[in-house]
Each structure stands twice: as structure tokens, then as C-alpha cells.
Chains A and B, each alone.
Chain A
Amino acid sequence: MNSSTNTASRGRGLLRKWQAPSGPVLKRLTASGVPYVRFGVWCSVAALIIVPLTAVVALAISGNRWDTLWTAEIFNAGVNSLVSAGLSAVFAVVIGTVLALLLDRTNLPGRGILRIFLLSPLLVPPFVGAIAWLGLFGPGGQINHFWSQVFGSPLWNMYGGAGVVFLLTVHSYPLAYLIVGAALRRVPGDLEQAAQISGANPWRAVTKITMPLVRPAQISAFTLIAVQNLADFGIPAIIGTPGGYQTLATMIYRYIQSGTVSEPLQVVSTIGALLLLLAIIGVLLEYRASGRSMGLDGPAAPQQTLNLSTWKHVVGFMSWIVGLAITVLPLLALAVQSFLSAPGQPLRWENLTLNSMTRALTANTTIVGAYNSIFLAASAALICGVIGGLVSVLLTRTLSRTNVPLRIVVMLPQAVPGLILAVGWLLIGPSLGLFNTIWLILCAYVMGFIALVVQTVNAPLRSIPVALEEAARISGAGGLRTLITISWRMAMPAIFTGMMLVLLTSVRELTISVLLLAPGSQTLGVAIFNLQQAGDYNAASALSLIVVVLGLFGLSLTIKTKTRS
């Protein structure tokens, strides 16, 4: 061999830096057939996501109604939106972090069960939560009623800004807890142990070593929650509006419903474009923050449990009281309201009735709403499952320059307030011939919830080694065949979970449905909202209760199937 005697004479440093090739370079699944799949996915994503968002931005620019942003009405609403979203996100992250530490790292008594209770607001749609809390702190709520009898005046009327911030916080802290808690669990225990060996006590090790490592997760939780709350419709509509507290979301609704301004769509698009801008800024900030996250090795050592020692029972008692008050009390109030014959009545046997329940269930709007919601949710789940599953497979199992833009486009609707998605479809609906039909709502659902499937599927799929597809290629399978028989098949369980999430989310959706409402196309969420707006609080509560109970039932089914697969 000629070259064998020829010894290398290149820089020695290179040897150490040169790593064995791994990662995207090796992902070559680009051959025959796959480009067609990619093309198809791009077409549907363009039609479902890019077109409606472009429509909003285009009308905002061409309509040139930026001046309306400075009218006192909209300006105030904008400030209210920013303040309520920002404050609630800060509170949520603080509470979420404290919970993550208390529930996951300490020896708090009964933390396992308390965790389930504290996560429950996640399962209650925000507008249902608002109706439930009104049963406690509304002008005629049970607690206020009791307080007036004893002290002569109600304890706290929750209508208005403070109530909005409070409720937004209650409905966001579980998400903050999930995000921060997941990050906390990823911090290897040996980092803290190293700090303790160096002389730090356990609490100090947590605050000085672990907490800084969790900061990127806190920032991303903050952004996600702030963007979500920026355009929440149900809570400000039910809690804020009666107290004269308007946000951009309720303004958009009012403009579209009641034509109080000329050219409402252009004004709404302008507000939408503004919200879109805020959302994009938020996402960019979050991207920068997460880019700075430190590289952590896998959990090499299990984390140590922090001992609350003498405080254990005091802290435990307090946590349980607050936890139950926040989670169980409003649901009890919801139940009580469902069975009271009229709002504001004291809780006595003779006041209990099944009338509201029957009224809620037998009303024509409820039946139509339930039928529509189930149809819409099932269809959305199916479509999101197919498109989202394919997107995930392409993103994690193939190598392409278009993957990064594809991921951004698919995830974008999640960062964009649901209202804007609805406005987008409202704008392009007429030219599609879908105006005033239920299909428009379906399109908007799909647009908004594809990201749910992609998120659910990406993580498990990413952890599967590329060698599984390479083994198929070596065995003689072409690109498309590998994609279908190996990648797609392996993604199936996760895709199914993602579809269930879409189903459960869309079956009780309000924001999108209320804006795209057309004759005969009302959903369950809209039915509850309309009952509430019409002043039939008891029927609204009864229907809410049913939705919550069915939702919990559905979720427990999903969890069961998830653990089985």
C-alpha cells in the first residue's frame, strides 16, 4: 500500500476536535417519493396557515386604519391586554416555580395527590372557569352572599381588571408548573451534590445551582403564557366586560358582532396585525432566551429530596388549603349553581332543582352545539393527525433545507392568539365560498391545533435513532416506503395521543367559534357563552359542569391508552 507508509502530517489539534459524523448529515431519507409528500404537506400548510395570516396582515396594511389604534377606546383596551397578560404571566411563572419546587423536590405531605388537584385548572376551559368563579365572587356568588350577611358588604366583587388577572393566573399557572417542572427534573442531581460536597446546604444548592439552570424554562413559560393570555376571550368577556374592563379580544368581538365602527374588518385586522406583531416579538425573545440554555447531560444522578423538616406540616397544611380553594371550590360553586333555581339564592334544600340542568340539556342550541362541537372536534382531530403526523415525520426523520421554515410555519399559530386565526378565516371565507358555514370553523380549528400534534409527536420521534430507517434502506426499501412502513408506523401511538389532545381542546373551544359563528354552526362553547350572556347563569353553569365532567372522562381515557401503548 502506497499510502500506508505515508504518515499524516496535519495539525494534531484537529484529531481531538474531529468528532465522528453524527446528526443531520446522516439523515438521508430524501430519495424517491418523499419530495411528493413534502410538497403535499407544504401545500396544505400554506393553504391552512400562511394564507389566512397573510390575509390579516395584508388587509391591515392596505386598509391603513392605524389611526384607530390611537382612539382612546382601543388604546385603553390594548393597555389592558398587555397589563393583564403580562401580570398574569409573571404571577403564573412565580406560582409555577414554587409549585415545581414544593411538589417535585420536597417531602410535602400528600404531594402526589395535591399535584393532580393543582393541575386540574388545565382541564377546565378558561370561560368555564370564569363562570365557576363567578359562583363564588360574583355579585351574587356564594362567598359574597355569605360575607354580606355576616359583615354587611360583599368580600370581593371580581368583575373588572383584578378579576381578569386573577382568573388568567389561575388558568395559566399549571402550564408554568409543567414547563418549569420539566426543566427542573432535567437538571442532573449530581450538580447539586457537587455544590453540597463543596459546602453548600441543600436549599442553597437549589437556589444557587439549580434555579439559574431553570431560568430559560421560566422565560419560555412566561412568553408562552403571555401570548396566550394576550388574546384570551372567555375570561375578559365574562369577567372584564361587566366591570367595564375591555381588552383587545373583547373589542374585536364587539366590532364584529355589533358593527359599532365602519369597516369593522379593517379595524379588526389592524388590531390583529398588532397582536401578531406582539406575538412574533414574544416568540423571538423566547427563541433568544432558549438559545442561551445550557447544555446539560442526562440525569446522571437522581435528585435529592429537600427536607422541609419542622415546616413540613405547616407548609403542607397551607398548600392543601390554598390548593383546594383554588381548584375544588369553584367547581363546587359550579355544581351548586347548576342545581339552584335562580342565581344568588342561598344554598338550601328547597332551592335545589334539576330545572337548569334539564333546561340546559334540552335547549335546541345545546343539542345543535353539542352535535357541531363533536363533529368539528372529530374532524379537526383527524385532519390535524394526518397533516401534523406527516409534518413531524418530515421534521424529525428527514433532512431538508425546508424543515426549519416548515417547523416555524406550523408552530406559528400556537404563538398567535386564536382570535387572529379566526379573523384570518373571516377575511378569506367569502372568497372560498365558505362564509357563514361550519367549515370555516373547522379550517380555523385545524390551523390552530396542528401544532398540538406536531409537539406531541416530535419529542418521542426525535429520540428514535436514525438507524431504524437506515436498516430499512439497507433491507431494500425506498425512501417513501421507509417513510410509510417505518417512520409513520413508529409515530402512530404519539399521533393518536396528539389527535386526542386536539379532540379535547376543540370540543370546548370558544374564542374561534364565537367569532366565526354562523346560523346553525354554534358550538358547545358558544352555547354556554350565550346562556351566560343571556343571564341564565344556572343553565350556563349546568352545561359547563357537564362539559368539565365529560372532558375529565375523555382525558382519563387518553392517559389510559397512552400508558398502554
Chain B
Amino acid sequence: MTEVLSLEDVELTYPNGKVGLEKLNLTAKKGELIAVIGPSGSGKTTLLRAVAGFLNPSEGSIAINGEVMYRRGQSTIPTEKRKLGMVFQQHAIWPHMSVAQNVSYPLRLAGVAKPQRAKRVGEILELVGLDGFGERDPATLSGGQRQRVALARALVNSPRLLLLDEALSALDEPLRDTLRLELRSLASTLGLTMLHVTHDRNEAIALADRMLVLDKGEVMQLGTPTELLNNPANPFIAGFLSDATLIRGGVKDGLFQSVEHDLRYAVAGEPDGDGTLVILPNDIAIDESGADSKEVTIVSSLFGRDHNEVVLDWGGVRMRSRYSGVMHREGDTVSARIAQARFYPAEDYSAPST
């Protein structure tokens, strides 16, 4: 498999000393959609802009299709020669050009002859569902249509890599959902490699072949959505992606003891030492009585299509739980059971700031 994008040990420090990216390694295969996600300020946009060439790393190298775009000490390939496509959060449609002029701009710069240009623009507008909109003034389009124009412009010259910078975030939820589906099908029909930056966890999980989670410029985990959801590499991932309950404490003789509460949990096979107990919301069973169940109070309750979300008061610990069945109200007492928990030893972790 060819590597479309490859980042090696990329580091980026801003002139004011702030760290944008730290020792970042990433490769993207052809046709792969990688979602980049993290709390605000985690460096996800910085990463995208470094790939685009709007920012240059301080260390490391960036290559596209094996061709070096940036390596320290070597001359940098400027943005306009990288043959990329990009969709911006605020669509960035040029107001002084018609839809067709906007879309054909990359072709014009690439020196494509006029007849081919018109043909290609027509094809691409049809692809994004804007057939016949070519002569329209962008100001007369709706937000969703403008974003489609932006997508058409990004795709028109068959970019080697499509960069999406919060491309769907400015749209309304139903529209976002539609475009998400279209993006996925475009990716497979065109065999397009994409780097998709988003702050929407569900969007990243839904779209991505692989997800890259960043925090403070550092890679927290890289893997398929299933891997990240089922096997979070560290408490941060569990907290950030799944709203898991994180309890600090220590293990002694196979028993976890919280430092702040009297919560205990048997963790057979774990060596003694300090660490964090992670309880995923799905791992708290509600309305199940048994030997290890406990009567808990519901502090907050949200109704959902597939499952309800509650916050429980577990003897002083606030725990997030996801369950299906009858909805409980705040103040209700239910019996609950921790079906599963993981212990992550040692190392100070940083709680996600969501």
C-alpha cells in the first residue's frame, strides 16, 4: 500500500514558545479517512495547517506520496505546489466570483484549457449535487450549498489529499448528517485520502477509518474507532471519547482503593501501585441487582434515542452511565453494578477538559 501522507517526528513550536505539536508520527494510506480529534488547543488544526503548508514545523518531516514537502534544512514546498484540496470551516467561497468561477479556479491555475475546465466543473458540481448552479452568485446560496461549492472546489483538480478543517461544524445538525454520509461515499468512489479535523466526537467515530486523538500537541492514541472505544490506551482517551469515570487510587493485593472515596474494586492480576481506575459508561449496569450491586441516587438524567445517560452518585463519586430501558428521574434510587472496570497503572494523567 502506498503512503499518501507521512509525518515523521513532527514538532512545532510557535514563536511565542507555545507548543503546537510534539513528536508526531502519522501515515495515511490511499483512500483512508483519518479523523483528527482533541480538546480545543490540542493541536489538531495546527497539524492540518502544517500539512497544508500554512505553518512550518520546527522539526521532523512531512511527505506526500513519498515526495518531501518539508524537512528541516531543505527548501519547503509552498502550499500552492502541494496539490492538495481543503475545505474550511467558514467555507471560504470567494464572493466576487460565481460558483463556476470559484470551482474552476484551481483548474485555471493548473493551466487546464477552457473547454476541459467547463466540462470538469460541470461534472464536479453534479457530483456534489449542485448541477446547474454554475452561474449563481455564491451570496444567493444556503450555508449547506456553499459548503458543497467549497467541497467541489477542493475536489476539482483531483487533489492528492483532502484536508477538512471543521468542514461540517458550521452547519445545522441534519445537514451535517447528510454531508457526512455524502463525504463517506465520495471517499470510497474517488478513493480519496482525507484528513478530517473535528471537535465532534461522534462525527469522528462515525466517519473515520482511523482516529488520531491529540492533547496538548501530543498523540494520545491512533487507531480504529472500535479500538479507541473498546480499548482506550489511557484514561484520557476513555474520558475524552466515552465520558468514562476516572478514579485515582492504588492497588494492593488485587484490590483497588480510591484515594478520595471509600470505593473499592477487585482488579485481579494487577500489580501493586498507584494508578487510575477507569469505568466506561456502558460498563455500569443499572436496574440489575446482585451480590455486588449498590443502591445509588440519580443526580442528572438525559433521555436518548438508543440509551439514556445518567450521572449517578456512587457513594460520593459521580459516575456516568449509559443504559437502555425505563428512564429514571433525578432523585430516583436505583440498584447499579460495575460490570467492568480497567486499571491503568502509574503515570499522572490529565483529565480531558470537556
> Which residues of chain A have a CB within 8 Å of any CB of chain B?
1, 3-10, 12, 14-16, 18-21, 25-26, 28, 31-32, 465, 467-468, 470-478, 481, 485-486, 489-490, 492
Q: How large is the interface on B (under 10, 10 to 19, 20 to 34, 35 or more residues)?
A: 35 or more
| Residue B141 lies at the interface, judged by CB distance under 8 Å to chain A | no
> What is the 8 Å Cβ interface bit string for chain B, positions 73-110, against chain A (1 contact, 0 not)?
00000111111111011101011100000000110011
| Chain B residues closer than 8 Å to A15, beta-carbon distance | 39, 41, 215-216, 350, 353
Assess whether A5 is in contact with B234, with CB atoms less than 8 Å apart: yes
Apart from A4-B223, A15-B215, A26-B54, 6 more pairs, CB < 8 Å: A1-B219, A21-B14, A470-B54, A490-B94, A490-B95, A492-B96
Among residues of A, the one whose C-beta sits closest to the C-beta of B228 is A4
Of the candidates B18, B40, B80, B96, the one whose C-beta lies within 8 Å of that of A473 is B80
| Residue B221 lies at the interface, judged by CB distance under 8 Å to chain A | yes
Bound CA–CA A528/B80 (angstroms)? 57
> What is the 8 Å Cβ interface bit string for chain B, positions 313-349, against chain A (1 contact, 0 not)?
0000000000000000000000000000000000111
Assess whether B55 is in contact with A3, with CB atoms less than 8 Å apart: no
Assess whether B23 is in contact with A3, with CB atoms less than 8 Å apart: yes
In whole Å, how far is B115's beta carbon from the nearest beta carbon of chain A? 20
Assess whether A8 is in contact with B92, with CB atoms less than 8 Å apart: no
Bound CA–CA A3/B41 (angstroms)? 19
> Which residues of chain B have a CB within 8 Å of any CB of chain A?
14-15, 18, 20, 23-25, 39-41, 45-46, 49, 52-55, 78-86, 88-90, 92, 94-96, 105-106, 109-110, 150, 153-154, 157, 163, 215-216, 218-223, 233-236, 347-351, 353
Assess whether A7 is in contact with B25, with CB atoms less than 8 Å apart: no
| Chain A residues closer than 8 Å to B351, beta-carbon distance | 12
Assess whether A470 is in contact with B88, with CB atoms less than 8 Å apart: yes
Assess whether B350 is in contact with A8, with CB atoms less than 8 Å apart: yes
Bound CA–CA A18/B80 (angstroms)? 29
Assess whether B18 is in contact with A465, with CB atoms less than 8 Å apart: no
Among residues of A, the one whose C-beta sits closest to the C-beta of B235 is A7
Assess whether A21 is in contact with B153, with CB atoms less than 8 Å apart: no
| Chain B residues closer than 8 Å to A478, beta-carbon distance | 78, 80
Assess whether B92 is in contact with A465, with CB atoms less than 8 Å apart: yes
Bound CA–CA A535/B80 (angstroms)? 67
Assess whether B216 is in contact with A490, with CB atoms less than 8 Å apart: no
Bound CA–CA A443/B78 (angstroms)? 40
Bound CA–CA A475/B93 (angstroms)? 12
| Chain A residues closer than 8 Å to B221, beta-carbon distance | 1, 4
Among residues of B, the one whose C-beta sits closest to the C-beta of A489 is B96
Among residues of B, the one whose C-beta sits closest to the C-beta of A473 is B79
In whole Å, how far is A16's beta carbon from the nearest beta carbon of chain B? 6
Question: Contacts A20-B40, A489-B96 hold; do A3 and B215 have CB atoms under 8 A apart?
Answer: no
26 contacts between A and B (CB under 8 A): A1-B222, A3-B25, A4-B223, A4-B233, A7-B220, A7-B347, A8-B218, A8-B236, A8-B350, A18-B41, A21-B20, A21-B45, A21-B46, A31-B78, A32-B78, A467-B89, A471-B88, A473-B54, A474-B80, A474-B86, A475-B80, A475-B153, A476-B80, A476-B83, A476-B110, A489-B94
Bound CA–CA A20/B218 (angstroms)? 14
Among residues of A, the one whose C-beta sits closest to the C-beta of B23 is A3
Bound CA–CA A28/B56 (angstroms)? 10
In whole Å, how far is B325's beta carbon from the nearest beta carbon of chain A? 35
Bound CA–CA A485/B222 (angstroms)? 40
Assess whether A470 is in contact with B92, with CB atoms less than 8 Å apart: yes
Question: Contacts A1-B219, A7-B234 hold; do A474 and B154 have CB atoms under 8 A apart?
Answer: yes
Bound CA–CA A252/B225 (angstroms)? 79
